[in-house]
Chain A
Amino acid sequence: MHNYTIAKLIKGLQNKEFSSVELTQHFLDRISQLNDDYNAVITVTSEQALSAAALADQRLANGDAPAMCGVPILHKDIFCTNGVRTSCGSKMLDNFVPPYDATVVENFARDGAVMLGKTNMDEFAMGSSNETSFYGPVKNPWATDSVPGGSSGGSAAAIAARLAPGATATDTGGSIRQPAALCGISGLKPTYGRVSRWGMIAFASSLDQAGPMARTAEDCAIMLNCMASFDEKDSTSVNQSVPDYTASLGNSIKGLKIGIPKEYFSEGLDRGTEIAVRKALADLEAQGAQLVKISLPNSHLSVPAYYVIAPAEASANLSRFDGVKYGYRCENPKDLQDMYCRSRTEGFGEEVQRRILIGTYCLSAGYYDAYYGKAQQVRQLIQQDFSDAFKSVDLIMGPTCPSPAFKFGAKGDDPVAMYLEDIYTIATNLAGLPGMSVPCGMVEEKPVGLQIIGNYFDEARMLNVAHQFQQITNWHNQAPEAVQ
């Protein structure tokens, strides 16, 4: 059953081939047998899962089952879950048990999905390798000496290892697409505002967006149907109707114009990755899509702009962690300032502290205009590049990452080397556009991802082309040998 897609599991449950309790127990058993090898799941909610599964079985029997009734999934540990620890991968929130559910979690519960537990992640979603988690790194199921990507590395590795058929994730600069690429699964970052951020622990509020991860585009469409909603509790949630993302999956892609930005195939791109991505583009061309050369001339400014805006917003968002109302408080503080300072220094890891310091620097008097103001202007240049491109193409495609999964410690002590891992994904966050990664090849037995960038709220078209690609290729069905 663990090799079934969500679409197939839904059919199996509806046709009574197996019950949700059997299915849930099967995945719980797999987590218990395999998770030690990957460290992808950091909280398992067995009892809660089995009760939810029993309830789902009743609804299935009564014939009033909602869309994802009885399907087990995992939630990234950035989403607040009522009564279940929500750590955000940090010592700061190691003891944090929220008294409420995030809207995304509520939406899945409403649609009958069963939560198996919570997935590991880079601390406060700051990282591209999962090496910054307080709970230790996640290992890539395709090569356990290599990273799964980040920050949603736990969700991606869990799906690749068949510990769950789908998982929630978040993407601030590539945190859904890059781990999806490195673990050989599909992942979609929707348009900013499409999915509610309420109850999702904030990193950089103008960039953060939640999305689905699963093995196929079809499964991502099923999950997005459930996740996307207008939410009055999130002031940036967009009040726009949610289409049925599965309805257009079967559309022909004949005549579709795909923009290929020259900047995404320049220096720094691994040769094997380039070959795999170009082959995928040729496959789509053979299906009738038209490849159009385009330019995104300000691409080189994305990473610098991001590393001003994201840390600036993070330094403001993370000021709430002060040891007063929840989370970690240091032992025996001598006064209030000592409590703030030691709680934060002991509670946050190195990368989080670094980003707080950078953000504070960029926002401080005398530097605001040169850094933060300038980055916000550059953001407009990047957005303009995309809006010019979308005048002549329907979608934009290229590699998700410059290379396949790298080994633990390979990026060494230089934070900038790690930051460049997101060179192809960051621009879409700055512009608020949707982006997706689907598996499109293997290099040295490690997966490669094809990135699909769409115009605002054009997720249905992205999922359609990704689904059509998966009808003619088999990369999404591959599994690491140890987990088959």
Chain B
Amino acid sequence: MTIERKEIEKLATLSRLAIDEKTIADVTGRLSSVLALVDQLQSANTESLQEISRPFHTSQRLRDDQVDETDQRDAFQAIAPQTHNGLFTVPKMIE
């Protein structure tokens, strides 16, 4: 399966990545090569098989619905790119 340039542009938008004009042909070629590899899956007979998302059958352990972490806002905000009055700040998003 080959992938079209238009699809790459859509994927880049979904992934919040920018692909510049100079490299788009290269990226398209390399992704097509990976998709050709994964297309080998289509030959497998998987009729009646369940999809498994975990390596072996274990049930997801749940914790009690209780607060068990202490407030570490200052420690986490100390490593943030930008904060203001205890909040994480980002560029303006509403005009």
Q: Are A315 and B91 in contact (CB under 8 A)?
A: no
Q: Are B91 and A236 in contact (CB under 8 A)?
A: no
* Least Cβ–Cβ distance between B4 and chain A, in angstroms: 12
Q: Are B30 and A415 in contact (CB under 8 A)?
A: yes
Q: Does B67 touch A at the CB level, under 8 Å?
A: no
Q: Are B79 and A193 in contact (CB under 8 A)?
A: no
Which residues of the other chain, A, contact B44 by a CB distance below 8 angstroms?
298, 301, 374, 377-378, 381
Q: Which of A201-259 contact B (CB under 8 A)?
A: 206-207, 232, 235-236, 238-239
Q: Are A431 and B41 in contact (CB under 8 A)?
A: no
**Chain B contact patch, size range:** 35 or more
Per-residue A-contact encoding for B54-95, CB less than 8 Å = 1, 0 else: 111010111100000000100110111110000010111100
Which residues of the other chain, A, contact B58 by a CB distance below 8 angstroms?
193, 236, 238
Q: Given that A324-B90, A357-B27 are contacting pairs, would A373 and B15 also be in contact in the complex, using a CB cutoff of 8 Å?
A: no
Which residues of the other chain, B, contact A358 by a CB distance below 8 angstroms?
31, 34-35, 38
Q: Which of A63-71, A124-132, A325-333, A390-398 contacts B (4 or more CB under 8 A)?
A: A325-333
Partner of B11, one of A340, A364, A378: A364
Q: Given that A333-B91, A376-B52 are contacting pairs, would A324 and B81 also be in contact in the complex, using a CB cutoff of 8 Å?
A: yes
Q: Are A335 and B79 in contact (CB under 8 A)?
A: no
* Least Cβ–Cβ distance between A190 and chain B, in angstroms: 12
Q: Are A374 and B17 in contact (CB under 8 A)?
A: no
Which residues of the other chain, B, contact A373 by a CB distance below 8 angstroms?
51
Q: Are B41 and A380 in contact (CB under 8 A)?
A: no
Q: Are A235 and B60 in contact (CB under 8 A)?
A: yes
Q: Are A345 and B18 in contact (CB under 8 A)?
A: yes
A298 to B72, CA, bound (A): 48
Which residues of the other chain, B, contact A265 by a CB distance below 8 angstroms?
none
Which residues of the other chain, A, contact B78 by a CB distance below 8 angstroms?
99
**Chain A contact patch, size range:** 35 or more
A338 to B92, CA, bound (A): 11
Q: Are A308 and B93 in contact (CB under 8 A)?
A: no
Q: Are A334 and B31 in contact (CB under 8 A)?
A: no
Q: Does A296 touch B at the CB level, under 8 Å?
A: no
Q: Are A360 and B14 in contact (CB under 8 A)?
A: yes
Which residues of the other chain, A, contact B14 by a CB distance below 8 angstroms?
360, 364
Greatest chain B CB density within 10 A among A193, A300, A379, A456 is at A379
Q: Does A287 touch B at the CB level, under 8 Å?
A: no
Q: Given that A357-B17, A361-B11 are contacting pairs, would A336 and B40 also be in contact in the complex, using a CB cutoff of 8 Å?
A: no
Per-residue A-contact encoding for B34-55, CB less than 8 Å = 1, 0 else: 1111111110101001111111
Q: Does A430 touch B at the CB level, under 8 Å?
A: yes
Q: Does B2 touch A at the CB level, under 8 Å?
A: no
* Least Cβ–Cβ distance between B87 and chain A, in angstroms: 11
Q: Are B40 and A206 in contact (CB under 8 A)?
A: no
Q: Are B11 and A307 in contact (CB under 8 A)?
A: no
Per-residue B-contact encoding for A388-420, CB less than 8 Å = 1, 0 else: 000000000000000000000000011110010
Q: Are A99 and B72 in contact (CB under 8 A)?
A: yes
Chain A contact residues, CB within 8 Å of chain B = 95-99, 192-193, 206-207, 232, 235-236, 238-239, 298, 300-301, 303-305, 307-308, 315, 319, 322-327, 329, 333-342, 344-345, 348, 353-354, 356-358, 360-362, 364, 370-371, 373-381, 383, 413-416, 419, 429-433, 456
**Selected A-B contacts with CB under 8 Å, 6 pairs:** A329-B81, A339-B91, A361-B35, A375-B38, A383-B52, A431-B56
Q: Which 3 A-B pairs have the closest CB atoms?
A: A432-B55, A376-B51, A377-B46
- 19 more CB-based (< 8 A) A-B contacts, given A99-B72, A360-B11, A456-B56: A303-B37, A305-B41, A319-B16, A323-B81, A324-B88, A327-B81, A354-B31, A354-B34, A357-B27, A357-B31, A358-B34, A371-B41, A374-B42, A374-B44, A375-B41, A376-B51, A380-B46, A381-B46, A414-B33
